Amino acid sequence: MRRGGEGAARAARVLVVDDEPIVAEVLRELLGQDGYQVHVAPDGHLGRSMLEEGQWEAVLLDVMLPDEDGLELLRWIRDRYPDLAVVMITAFGTVENAVAAMKAGAFHYVTKPFKNDDVRHLVAQSVHTTRLRLENKDLRKALEERDTFERIVGRSRPMQEVYRFIEQVAGSRSTVLIQGDSGTGKELVAHAIHRRSARADKPFVVVNSSSIPTELLEDNLFGHERGAFTGASSAKIGLLEAADGGTVLFDEITTVAPAVQAKLLRVIQEKEFLPLGSVNTKVVDVRILAATNEDVRQLVERGGFREDLYYRLNVLTITLPPLRQRLEDLPLLIGHFLERYNAENGKNLRGVAAEALERLLTHGWPGNVRELANVIERGVVLARGDEITLDLLPRELQTRTPTVGAGQLPDGLGYYEAVARYERQLIESALRRAGGVQKQAAEILGLKPTTLNEKIKRLGIQA
């Protein structure tokens, strides 16, 4: 009959690395009675191989191995598998080995000859510790993923609505019109829709019509036959045909010339087109996404865009919020770009200095997320210390009068008073959204709960 094993989870895998057959067999029998899957490696070489081939919850490791120092193997384990709890086995009276093992990162140690109950207790604790570490890592990862969605960073309410829209429309075949100011992430949203669709393993093609002359745009989109025009010495496949089965994003759709708009309408309605110089229709299966920073409805009313094409594009529409309307995402975005540009530039900046951060929080961000990315990249590249300081911000951010939200600095209010007022507004807004729960409000703001509590007290906010 199996004993309880100090509450250890059944089927936990334990690796014993010990060259003494009697010790290994005793541990196998003892721990097997408690429900563990016990495997034995007689030396360090085989121990390393077994660790690399499976998932383990605890390791019992002898300090003295026939082929290497057990402490060296311990260091290797700590480097490769930092969450795995290791119990060192030392000879009686070798206290210095036990101390060295603990300094090297061992969970605990046991001396030979050992007491069975001591071993059982330590293994149960080790399994619990390993699994707790892994659960915490999974939780941290889940929290990080909650702040991002298909590479889009943000947890604010406006961005949650964007995420829900993507989830709802990704599986359909309908066209999608993505509207938003320059720099709000329209192409990221288009990528997310594609990746979450049944077309994810097919091509995703971006067409930026604003930078391509009309004649060249037609050729790029529809392709041509040999001899279609001077210089057409061979046939060419267009982007639409190349994207067959996938998704095509028309970036800045309002810059497409009227002649191309008519042909694009036919592609959407009939799934077919004529290459330049051809009399044979090509049939394609592509999903059309369109992005713009203009009000297409107003363009239609002014005669600047085909009304029938607008209605074909406007089946599903999402308008992305500007950064000034989701400033609670600013700390997340700053952290995201710091991590990216640290990695790209081989640096390790830990954050933004307080005065610089105040300026970032009170900036109106007309260039939206793209502008913020440029500011952080500049700061990382120029930084000589471990923070982005005020002098590293662009000149217009260093010298300009900060805005509060989208408005101007109130009359008679100094810089720091304006920052305090804006900070109060952010915190009060977060508290309302969190129903007064400070921990949730801290998550919304990207702050530690203790930091938020200190700010609430300092600002005299009734929480």
Q: Which of 127, 144, 161 is where one domain is finished?
A: 144
The answer to whether residue 7 scores a pLDDT higher than 80 is no
Q: What is the CATH number of the domain that holds 385?
A: 1.10.8.60
Pair 345, 308 in one domain: no
Which residue in this structure is represented by tokens 């005065």?
355
Pair 132, 274 in one domain: no
Q: What backbone phi and psi angles, to 5 degrees, belong to 236? A: -135, 135
83 with 133: CB under 8 angstroms?
yes
Residues 6+ apart with CB under 8 A from 190: 176, 178, 204, 206, 247, 249, 289, 291
Looking at residue 5, its pLDDT comes to 43
Domain of residue 183: give its range: 152-321
d(CA 98, CA 106): 9
**Type and span of the H or E element at 148:** strand 148-149
pLDDT band at 322 (very low <50, low <70, confident <90, very high): very high
Q: What is the CATH number of the domain that holds 85?
A: 3.40.50.2300
Query: What is the average pLDDT across 329-358?
Result: 87
Residues 6+ apart with CB under 8 A from 305: 254, 261, 296, 299
Pair 134, 158 in one domain: no
Pair 204, 265 in one domain: yes
Pair 175, 287 in one domain: yes
Q: Which of 110, 144, 178 is where one domain is finished?
A: 144
34 with 2: CB under 8 angstroms?
yes
Q: What is the CATH number of the domain that holds 178?
A: 3.40.50.300
Q: How many residues does the chain have?
A: 463
Q: What is the CATH number of the domain that holds 443?
A: 1.10.10.60
248 with 205: CB under 8 angstroms?
yes
Pair 277, 369 in one domain: no
Pair 84, 96 in one domain: yes
pLDDT band at 409 (very low <50, low <70, confident <90, very high): very low
Pair 23, 86 in one domain: yes
Name which of 89-93, 240-244, 402-406 the model is least confident about.
402-406
Q: Residues 120-159: pLDDT tens digits?
A: 999 999 998 888 888 777 655 554 555 667 788 888 888 9
Pair 247, 208 in one domain: yes
Looking at residue 156, its pLDDT comes to 85
| Entry pTM | 0.59
The answer to whether residue 412 scores a pLDDT higher than 50 is no
Pair 9, 124 in one domain: yes
Q: Residues 439-462: pLDDT tens digits?
A: 877 777 767 788 788 788 877 787
The Cα-based distances of 70 to 44, 65, 463 in angstroms read: 7, 6, 55
In 3D space, the residue among 187, 150, 145 whose CA is nearest the CA of residue 167 turns out to be: 150
Q: Which of 287, 321, 355 is where one domain is finished?
A: 321
Looking at residue 313, its pLDDT comes to 94
d(CA 271, CA 114): 77
Query: What is the average pLDDT across 238-258?
Result: 93
Pair 22, 135 in one domain: yes
How many separate domains does the chain show? 4
Name which of 16-30, 236-250, 363-377, 397-411 the model is least confident about.
397-411
Pair 140, 177 in one domain: no
